[in-house]
Structure 1
Amino acid sequence: MPIQFFGEDLDANMGANSSFVPNGNAVDAQNDFLSRLSDINTADFESSTLGVSTHRLSFAGSTGTIEGILRSNRGSYVSNGSSGAFPTSGSQLWGSGSRFSIEFETPIVALGFFVQDIEVNPLSLQLDLVGGGTKDILIPSTVRAPNGGLTYFGFIDKDQPFTRVTFLEPTRGDGYGFDDITVAEQVQSVPEPSTILGTFMALGFGALLKKKGAKKDN
């Protein structure tokens, strides 16, 4: 079953000079997402050439690197930031005024990222699934948000791995900033609440039978 992670920090006073919120809702969502991954493979844009609109991304992790190719239409490129958009690490980010995609060399089951300055309408993703077909995901951000807001969105879906994600084109006149994109080929096995409850019930029932057996022997 898919799991989503979402947090946003909105402040009407953030505006064009907004900056990273180190202890806000977005970071809480990121930490929750990262805690579910077996290996954290993250790409930023610090080694990218300013103004470049298509290039390779290396998602480096502790056990290896996942490679991807970022392709964009006109209006998306590496930058130092703009009005309302800012890096969440280092000094560079991916600024987008149109759709762009990342194609991965291996199937991916988890994706998370920071995005800034979602104002006019929510951002949508389209996944190209392994085996064919696509899946759309709408990020539940606040509509008509103030300039300079910070959002983190992530999801895990072990049952529907994908090889490409497309960040769909924003409405005319709007643009976003992206940074610290994390992907994973596998995630930790975390029991669902019903599974945990069933385990405790089984343990309790086993202890009860053991206790009754001991009384019978006496």
Structure 2
Amino acid sequence: MPRRPAPGPSRGRPAPATVAPALLLALVLALSLTACGPQPGAGGQPPTGPVTASAPGSATGSTPAGAPTTTPATGCPDPGLATSVGPVDGALGLRAVTLTLVNCGATTATVEGYPGLRLLDEEQADLDVAVVEEPDPVGNEPGLPVTAVTLAPGGSAQAVLLWRNTVAEGENAPGSYLAVTAVPGAQEQLLTLAVDLGTTARLVVGPWRAPA
């Protein structure tokens, strides 16, 4: 019986091609350089120079030349002096409360003398009350002169307000609000303050002084 020849490569399909290692390495390097290169910007060109983020509502995000760097606090009354009051300290019918004045403006201010006061009822109508100015209403330093107080921005001064809750025959005069004018010509400020004057109808106020 004749012997068949050993099987050889198929003549119908060519053997797969082999890529040379050097050519494969070159292709990998080319792809890496393409992925890491600059990406095109608008119009297909890469962006140049730093990118600056603008603040909302502005064109460049920078402060215009000559613009103020600070502004007075919101609600700061004219001319930049804000008042507050309280709490009330009472003993044996004598009431005492401290008025505080703060320079809420951006410049130095000077105050001298007494605050202007009006006592109002719950409907903010004026009460018939005598306001008596005393250089030393508490009596701690008799003969202390009334002097000017210079307030830097944020600085403060204080004044003492006294009254007696003495009840005798007559009509009582309770107060609910205190209208304060810090210095002559300043904007009047309305403060909530319960004043139980009894029947004396008399308020004693001291001058503005630097805090102790």
- Give the shorter-chain TM-score range: under 0.3
Structure with bigger strand share is 1
Structure with bigger helix share is 1
Task: Give the TM-score normalised by structure 1.
Answer: 0.26
Task: Give the TM-score normalised by structure 2.
Answer: 0.27
- Structure whose alpha-carbon radius of gyration is higher: 2
